[in-house]
Amino acid sequence: MSKQPDKAHKIEDFFDSVLDIFYDGIYITDANGQTIKVNSMYEKLTGLKKEDLLGRLVTDLENEGVYTSPLNPTIVKTGKPQTSVQVNKEGRRVVVNGYPVFDKEGKVVYVVTYVRDVTVLSQLKEQIASQADLIEKYHQEARYLRKSNFQDSQTIVESPKMKNLMQLLKRIAATDTTVLLLGETGVGKDVFARKIHEYSSRKDQPFFKINCATIPENLIESELFGYDPGAFSGASAKGKPGYFELADKGTLFLDEMGELPLPMQAKLLRVLQDQEVMRVGSTRIKRVDVRFIAATNRNLEEAIKDGSFRSDLYYRLRVAVLDIPPLRERKEEIIPLINYFLDKFNIKYKKHIHFSPSVKNYLLHYKWTGNVREVENLIQGLVVTQEKDILDVTDLPSYFIADDNHKDQLFQPESFNMGDRTLSEMMDSFERELLKRALELHGTISNVAQVLGMDRSTIFRKLKKHALI
Rounded-to-integer distance, Cα 341 and Cα 351, Å: 13
Is residue 405 over pLDDT 60? no
Rounded-to-integer distance, Cα 339 and Cα 354, Å: 9
Question: Side-chain half-sphere of 390: how many Cα atoms within 13 Å?
Answer: 3
- Which pLDDT score, from 0 to 100, does residue 418 have? 57
DSSP string, 43-80: HHHH---GGGTTT-BHHHHHHTTSBS--SHHHHHHH-S
- Which pLDDT score, from 0 to 100, does residue 415 have? 45
In the chain, what is the straight-line distance between the N-terminal and C-terminal CA atoms, in Å? 124
Q: How many CB atoms lie within 10 A of CB 453?
A: 7
Backbone torsions φ then ψ of 371, nearest 5 degrees: 60, -150
- Which pLDDT score, from 0 to 100, does residue 301 have? 92
Domains and CATH numbers, the chain: 3-120 (3.30.450.20), 148-325 (3.40.50.300), 331-465 (1.10.8.60)
Is residue 373 over pLDDT 50? yes
In this structure, are residues 256 and 309 in contact, taking their beta carbons and an 8 Å threshold? no
Rounded-to-integer distance, Cα 382 and Cα 273, Å: 47
Q: Could you read off the pLDDT of 310-327 as tens digits, one per residue? A: 999 999 999 999 999 999
- Work out the pLDDT band at 166, boundaries 50, 70, 90: very high
- Work out the pLDDT band at 8, boundaries 50, 70, 90: low
Whole-number average pLDDT of the chain: 83
Is residue 339 over pLDDT 90? yes
Q: In one letter, which amino acid is 176?
A: D
Q: Among 306, 271, 301, which residue's Cα sits nearest to residue 288?
A: 271
- Which pLDDT score, from 0 to 100, does residue 167 have? 95
Q: Average pLDDT in the 387-408 region?
A: 71
DSSP string, 190-236: HHHHHHHHHTSTTTTS-EEEEETTTS-HHHHHHHHHEE-TTSSTT--
Is residue 334 over pLDDT 80? yes
Q: How many CB atoms lie within 10 A of CB 413?
A: 13
Is residue 371 over pLDDT 90? yes
HEC sequence for 379-406? HHHHHHHCCCCEECHHHCCHHHHCCHHH
Rounded-to-integer distance, Cα 225 and Cα 218, Å: 13
Burial class (CB in 10 A: 0-12, 13-18, 19+), 129: exposed
Q: Among 150, 174, 139, which residue's Cα sits nearest to residue 246?
A: 139
Q: Which of 42-56, 333-347, 386-400 has the lowest mean pLDDT?
A: 386-400
| DSSP character at residue 326 | P
